Amino acid sequence: MMDWARAIGFLLAAVLSVPAHAHAFLDHAEPRVGAAVRSAPTELRLWFTQEIESAFSTVKVIDARGRRVDKGDARVDGANVQLLRVSVATLAPGDYTVVWRVVSTDSHVTQGDYVFHVEP
């Protein structure tokens, strides 16, 4: 009877010690979520809570008229695989929506969006 109890104990310990796989969520961004910036950025940077896969992670920047204003060059930073970068065209004053979708290295997909404002 004691051997079964030990076997079940080891089995439970093994199952419960498996690391939990988390999703990569947006940690912070530049320009910041909801920020009003005085000078228009030339690049947006988004940091995530986990490493992300370059081939499957995207970010788009959309102006108030629904036009895409990024340069289509979204890429994961070579020195920091939790950082997603994208260049933008010259931004006029107004609101911009950043739409992101990333795949973490453990294959979980997360997505979201946020707005920032360029002041006149």
pLDDT beyond 80 at 105? yes
| Per-residue pLDDT at 4 | 54
Task: Look at residue 53 and tell me if it is in a domain.
Answer: yes
Q: What's the pLDDT tens digit per position in 23-60?
A: 899 999 999 999 999 999 999 999 999 999 999 999 99
Of all residues in the chain, what percent carry a pLDDT higher than 90? 78
Task: Look at residue 1 and tell me if it is in a domain.
Answer: no
Task: CATH number of the domain at 113, please.
Answer: 2.60.40.1220
Task: Look at residue 2 and tell me if it is in a domain.
Answer: no
User: For the chain, how many structural domains are there in total?
Assistant: 1
Task: Look at residue 112 and tell me if it is in a domain.
Answer: yes
More confident residue, 58 or 6: 58
Average model confidence (pLDDT) across the chain = 88
What is the spatial distance between Cα 55 and Cα 107, in angstroms, rounded to a whole number?
12
Tell me the residue range of the domain where 46 lies.
Answer: 22-118
Task: Look at residue 10 and tell me if it is in a domain.
Answer: no
Task: Look at residue 28 and tell me if it is in a domain.
Answer: yes
**Residue 115 vs residues 61, 100, 118: alpha-carbon distances, Å:** 9, 12, 10
